[in-house]
Amino acid sequence: MELTKYDHACVRVEKNGKVLVIDPGTFTRAPVLDGADAVLITHEHFDHVDVEKLKAASPGLEIWTCEGVAAGLTEVPGKVQVVRHGDDFETAGFHVKAFGEWHAKNHPDVPIVQNVGFLLDDELFYPGDALTVPDVEVPTLLVPTGAPWLKLMEMVEYLRTIRPARAFSTHDGLYSEVGLGLVDNWLKMESDKQGADIRRLKVGESATLS
């Protein structure tokens, strides 16, 4: 399984010639859906889902997401399927389990929306905009590192609760180069403390997962 980091909150995962994309939002500039077989979308915020991208995608694309997102994808040609916490399914050659129900609390005037995290092949967990703790081992975690709803202390505590063998930064598109340098330092501190591979992949950089 090869993981490639794209802008902000989007990643592309490839295995055995199949391609799965998670959260291709409006901040993702690259043609990340080219050749994609399936898309997973955690929640309805624009930095995680770009409806226009999905409208232009192949009609053979499988899209798996929560009810809140599915309601806005009625004009998308791909096959949209709703998943909830506790569901598991097969898509693009991956076995996927769904964990979590709600987005983290954000602005006091902004309603909390549905949010579902995805665990791929019992290896890679992407929580979306929540600090969901699955009741299973998580070898590789995509950890949010920058968001209006997130504190540094919460991110560190999340890493210490999950204790993954590997963790890579996601949700980091709001940072300047100075801010990304801080993220790198924070993740290295935690990597050294846990003796794990915890770091930020640059946009376009890939990592091979066992």
The DSSP-derived string for 180-199 is HHHHHHHHHHHHHHHTSEEE
Tokens of 40: 């997973």
C-alpha to C-alpha distance for 118 and 142, rounded to whole angstroms: 10
User: Per-residue confidence of the chain (210 residues) as pLDDT tens digits?
Assistant: 999 999 999 999 999 999 999 999 999 989 999 999 999 999 999 999 999 999 999 999 999 999 999 999 999 999 999 999 999 999 999 999 999 999 999 999 999 999 999 999 999 999 999 999 999 999 999 999 999 999 999 999 999 999 999 999 999 999 999 999 999 999 999 999 999 999 999 999 999 997
The pLDDT of residue 145 is 98
The pLDDT of residue 51 is 97
C-alpha to C-alpha distance for 184 and 86, rounded to whole angstroms: 33
